[in-house]
Amino acid sequence: MSDLAIALNRFGLGARPDEPVLAEPRRWLTSQFDKYEVLPAPWKPVERTSALVEVWLAQQRAVRQAPEGQRSGIREAYLRKGRDEYIAAVGARTSSALQASAPFVERLVHFWSNHFAVSVDKLLVVGMAGGFEADAIRPNVLGHFEDLLLAVARHPAMLLYLDQAQSLGPNSSAGQRAQSLQQRGRGLNENLAREILELHTLGVRSGYTQDDVTEFARALTGWTLPSDEPGEETKATFRFVRALHEPGARTVLGRSYADGGEQQAHAIIHDLVLESATARHIATKLARHFVADDPPPALVQRLADTFARTGGDLSSVYRALVASPEAWQPVPAKFKSPWDWGISSLRAMGRREMPETQSVQLMNQLGQPVWRPGSPAGYGDLALTWAAPDALVRRVETAQRFAEQAGDDVDARTLAPRVLPDGALSEKTAGAIARADSSGTALALLLVAPEFLRR
């Protein structure tokens, strides 16, 4: 692979047939930081988080005020609307990826959405998932990691997904008023604290203990959604409720934090970002995503050093990644995930949009439903996750459908060297495409070629 092919396919989302010739591929990548549009055109019609929260609060209020027999109908109507919002947001995400003028940054949006995973398998999250990516991830993808982490931890989708909205300090004023926390289904919830430590910052086996999880969870009590009480409607998407907050000082990773209400958890998060384990965890995941399943140790160290030196300035880390020789090795080491492969296939065909429902169905069929991983750990980023025989069969079948839809409008013989430029297309694949008995067969062969399945 040449630098051009690497920039388009490894760092980007796949080459398009109308892609301009890039004289300086590496500079093109970092120049995208100035071109990135936080909310591109496909996202404009999609409801933002503040509007989604207002709908959620109205539903909460309606359920509380309705007779028992009518409550299930109200909840079902809310979930139906949530599914509509989900479908619209998946469509926006897909079209943004197909049209992206800053595909490197768009890939980073997808990376961080998976790092900070929420899942619509939890039905309360269905309508919120699009707002999570639009309002927590997209505005912070080029900023500081701490701001990104705070935006994620305070977003309603994450608060609902990890049950933080229901967490109650046992010794808080609200906890003391409760007659029985177990009967009420309320109490201290450690989910968000655990996932921030294990998945979002330090990583597993990094030295934190169960006591650290519990203490951090106590510090996070009071972080919840806005009130649904009449007269309190605002555009806010987050609220700190002191009455839910566990009083007292906390000790996390050997450091003491005075009782400061909402700021207590802020202070803990700030220090977590500065931990060397966090720098290494983030560096490893970025290097694994862009370079290899088993990333070069020197690259990981370089990225970790940049993260630590800059206090988690993400643009600096990305620049260090682009400048690293390990990222430009000519052998395509990364097997594309279903999302990667689906988007790069559509881009190669020149598609700029896809109907919303089809976007959802495509990723369901390929085995990577959008915003629906099996756990807070997100989707796997290793070849063994995606390269099973049945998964490859799905791609072959999808490639054949794409080819049928394209008809004679796409000539794979001229397309192949444009989407796999400068030697990225092997002679074997080029020969197979040339010998194909139809334009559809030729296109399908291109989309499932070994060099197209990798980046």
In a structure prediction context, what are the per-residue pLDDT tens digits for the chain, which is 455 residues long?
899 999 999 999 999 998 887 889 999 999 999 999 999 999 999 999 999 999 999 999 999 999 999 999 999 999 999 999 999 999 999 999 999 999 999 999 999 999 999 999 999 999 999 999 999 999 999 999 999 999 999 999 999 999 999 999 999 999 988 755 454 557 999 999 999 999 999 999 999 999 999 999 999 999 999 987 765 656 799 999 999 999 999 999 999 999 999 999 999 999 999 999 999 999 999 999 999 999 999 999 999 999 999 999 999 999 999 999 999 999 999 999 999 999 999 999 999 999 999 999 999 999 999 999 999 999 999 999 999 999 999 999 999 999 999 988 899 999 999 999 988 999 999 999 999 999 999 999 999 999 999 99
Whether 366 and 360 have beta carbons less than 8 Å apart is answered as no
Instruction: State the virtual CA torsion across 332, 338, 342, 344 in degrees, nearest 10.
Output: -20
Kindly tell me the burial class for residue 174, based on how many C-beta atoms sit within 10 Å of its own C-beta (0-12, 13-18, 19 or more): middle
Whether 334 and 10 have beta carbons less than 8 Å apart is answered as yes
pTM: 0.96
Tell me the C-alpha distance between 115 and 338, whole Å.
17
Whether 3 and 9 have beta carbons less than 8 Å apart is answered as no
Smallest CA-to-CA distance from 196 within 110, 247, 271, 259 is with: 271
Amino acid letter at 348? A
Q: What residues contact 114, with CB distance under 8 A and at least 6 apart?
A: 373, 378, 379, 381
The pLDDT value recorded for residue 233 is 59
The pLDDT value recorded for residue 138 is 98
The pLDDT value recorded for residue 365 is 97
The strand pairing partners of 144, in sequence order, are: 313
- Sign of the C-alpha dihedral computed for residues 7, 8, 13 and 14 taken in this order: negative
**Number of continuous H segments (helices) and E segments (strands) in the chain:** 24, 4
What's the Rg (C-alpha) of the chain?
24
Phi then psi dihedrals of residue 239, to 5 deg: -150, 140
SS3 for 141?
A: coil
- Measured CA distances, 350 to 17, 343, 418 (Å): 6, 11, 11
Interaxial angle between packed helices 68-99 and 103-115, expressed in degrees from 0 to 180 and rounded to the nearest 10: 150
Terminal Cα-to-Cα distance of the chain (whole angstroms)? 9
The strand pairing partners of 335, in sequence order, are: 454
The pLDDT value recorded for residue 6 is 96
The pLDDT value recorded for residue 409 is 87
CA 346 to chain centre: 20
Tell me the C-alpha distance between 124 and 6, whole Å.
40
How many C-beta atoms lie closer than 10 Å to residue 153's C-beta?
A: 24
Give me the helices (H) in 66-143, please.
68-99, 103-115, 129-132
